[in-house]
Structure 1
């Protein structure tokens, strides 16, 4: 289930928001301390974070930065009682899904959570695909990996053979092994996988 992580130093706010998101079918985890949230946060759980901008010790933007610095790609929705435009701009530039002013309307909050859910789902699908690709590439031998880097720049078998000081038949053998291990049937698919793995053309 998609989890909404609520972080606001006002206990009444997180209690009210928790009740609201649960009624709408989401799981809710409430925190009145940003540090407590960071200490208990599990990045593997699908969800988004709803953060108050103004909190003592660690404000919402600093919390957003801390998550990013830790490599956590968590969709974030900011809540503010001020509607501070410069803060809004910084938050959105840093990748915030939305910036809502308190008291937030139910429709605006749920709409933002739905957008965050779509973003989170796409990001997790992309990460799962990349993990799968990296695992397949890891099965290649050093020589096959070397051949792959030549294939993705469009070189013909005979050109690759010349570059690597071998014969064309050997390159064909390596290419066959590469396509089998990577589970592709065309050069187009091979190029797509190579690009996603960072083996740039």
Structure 2
């Protein structure tokens, strides 16, 4: 009997490990009967693929070579209306909660059995959020809050914050992005307002709170 997950016809799998990427494709084809699956080994490759592919669901590995922390998920969420299922080896409560806060439709530990993937796809197809049954909500919401605030930024604001984190001044950011310095200043003001901070240093601290390095300490 067909399940709700059979509604997924086109998928995009993003994982930089070729063997695991192939395994995810086979799992999708087995439990969702998808007709077309595109793959990407980096966030940049995935964003390019979205120019020609309109997936119903995206399966995303958090640990990609060209992203830091939850930045890949946040940027992807702004680039597609597809449901995003995060698959990661980092399955602690804080990671799962932050992933859902950033807009993912579900989370599955990377080495889960096929049955869990099937239940995740079915739940997401029914527009229900999926997390592992044994997931215990994390009482410390600092990372969740940081990720949620970062998710409120526009794509351009996210890029500017990334450059701020690299220590660049407004003039350098304007040059890198080919925009006016006054435009950069306006974006910085908007970034600080959305993040609820009053300085560039505080904005950087919020960004670091959502990074894997600080998150896993």
TM-score tier by shorter-chain length is: 0.5 to 0.7
Match of 1:2 among 3, 6, 9: 9
Q: CA RMSD in A?
A: 2.4
Is it true that 1:118 corresponds to 2:130 in the alignment?
Answer: no
Task: Note closer, same or farther for the CA distance 1:69–1:4 as it changes in structure 2 (3 Å cut).
Answer: closer
Q: Which runs of 5+ in 2 are unaligned?
A: 1-7, 129-217
- What does the per-residue CA deviation read over 1:76-120, in whole Å, with 9 as the maximum and x for residues that have no partner? 111111213222111111222221112121111122122333339
Secondary structure in 1 aligned to 2:91? Answer: coil
Larger Rg: 1
Q: Which runs of 4+ in 1 moved over 3 A?
A: none
Aligned residues: 119
Normalized per residue, the structure richer in helix is 1
Equivalent residue for 1:109? Answer: 117
Q: Distance in 2 between matches of 1:119 and 1:43?
A: 25
TM-score in terms of structure 1 length: 0.52
Match of 2:82 among 49, 52, 74: 74
Q: Which runs of 5+ in 1 are unaligned?
A: 121-201
Q: Is the 8 A contact 1:5 1:28 kept in 2?
A: yes
Q: Distance in 2 between matches of 1:69 and 1:12?
A: 28
Equivalent residue for 2:59? Answer: 50
- For 1:1-201, list aligned pairs within 5 A: 2-24=9-31, 25-26=33-34, 27-42=36-51, 45-58=54-67, 61-70=70-79, 72-119=80-127
Task: Note closer, same or farther for the CA distance 1:43–1:74 as it changes in structure 2 (3 Å cut).
Answer: farther
Q: Is the 8 A contact 1:54 1:60 kept in 2?
A: yes
Q: Is the 8 A contact 1:47 1:117 kept in 2?
A: no
